Amino acid sequence: GVADDKAVYAYVPDIIKYYLGEEAILPNVPTYLCSDPKQREHVLANLDKLVVKPTNESGGYGILMGPQASQEEREKTAAAIHSNPREWIAQPMLKLSTVPTLIGDELEPRHVDLRPFVLCGKEIYVMPGGLTRVALRKGSMVVNSSQGGGSKDTWILRNGQSHPEMNHASAALESF
């Protein structure tokens, strides 16, 4: 569907403004559309600095991590972009946080990202915690499970405080 097309990323701030009538609370990751000649020129000139993604793939397939890619891999991706620019986007390489991860008998740092959960009912609630995706290969920035990544539950703990949002979340779930 349309939401699966990564080119939509470039339009998220406009979509929020159109449907909600407000500015996005968090900034969007800059997304360059290779279908636009000026943006494509920028992408091709900076392949060594960007993450380049096919718009029609998921699960981390077909991604070029520019700073980690060989010259041959960058040239192959550049040729694919020239061949069908509509099928490609690029974004800056983001720094991912790391968490201690048990690898064998040792704790080692691994890159992670967080997927929060939002519940919709009469009201909308963001759950405390979420699913943390983790890159299990040393030095890897790819957290997708289909590419060797794993996952960790993430819980937000508070000393001595009740969790009223959990009551709201339970009520929201019951309203379905």
Given this model, what pLDDT does residue 167 score? Answer: 52
Given this model, what pLDDT does residue 67 score? Answer: 92
Provide the 3-class DSSP secondary structure of residue 122: coil
Gyration radius from the chain CA atoms: 19
For domain 2-92, give its CATH number from 3.40.50.10150, 3.40.30.10, 3.30.1490.270, 3.90.1210.10: 3.30.1490.270
Reported pTM: 0.73
Going from N- to C-terminal start, the domains of the chain cover 2-92, 97-174
**Contact residues for 144 (Cβ-Cβ < 8 A; gap 6+):** 59, 60, 133
pLDDT in tens, 111-162: 898 888 888 788 888 888 888 889 888 888 778 777 778 888 787 776 655 5
pLDDT in tens, 22-35: 998 888 999 999 99
**β-strands 88-92, 50-54: how paired?**
antiparallel
Cα(54)–Cα(172) distance, integer angstroms: 36
